[in-house]
Amino acid sequence: MSHSIMSHRVLVLNQDYQALSICNIERAFLLIFLKKAELVVEDETRELRTVNKSFKFPCVIRLYRYVRMPYQKVTLTRLNIFRRDGNQCVYCGAKTNLTIDHVIPKSQGGRDTWENLVTACQECNSRKGDRTPEESGMQLLRKPFRPSYIMFLSKYNSPYTPEAWLPYLMNV
């Protein structure tokens, strides 16, 4: 298998069709071959080939047995806040000189949470100062939120989410 094929990502669904994880093509093929998973969606433009056989190219697979997963959460870090906000200021959309802003300032009881921390450019952060967006006459372009683990994996760790995954990620 070539390197570009090996870097292909496959969405893994639990038995109940809930998005569970993302794996590489080699692992997905092995799960199907060992009859631990079924092919749900294939990439019809590609195939996996051996010397004398060809196989469907998995895009989405589903495990035959239900796997209980402990709740996985995305760690609250500066980099992950930037990723969630698309590396742009939530006040003006700027993509340079980025900092972290507390929507409700610490001086007013604001905490370090996903719902209170946002990406802001230095200019907007200074303009807002130690006030809420309302007090400073500024508006958030989008509301801060806690990203789910699978959403974070698919959306923020890759340049794109394959179209075939979307029906399985909509309820995430």
155-167: average pLDDT: 72
What's residue 157's pLDDT? 55
* pLDDT-derived band at 8, boundaries 50, 70, 90: confident
Q: Is 143 exposed, middle or buried (0-12, 13-18, 19+ CB in 10 A)?
A: exposed
Strands 54-63 and 9-13: parallel
- Closest to 19 (Cα-Cα) out of 6, 28, 10: 10
118-141: average pLDDT: 97
Residue partners of 67: CB distance under 8 A and separation at least 6: 14, 15, 20
**Does residue 159 register a pLDDT over 70?**
no
User: In sequence order, which ranges of the chain are alpha helices (DSSP H)?
Assistant: 3-6, 25-33, 78-84, 122-128, 133-136, 149-151, 166-169
- Type of residue found at 94: A
> What global pTM score does this model have?
0.62
- Type of residue found at 106: K
Lookup result for tokens 């000189």: 97
Domains of the chain: 3-70+149-169 (no CATH), 78-136 (1.10.30.50)
What's residue 3's pLDDT? 44
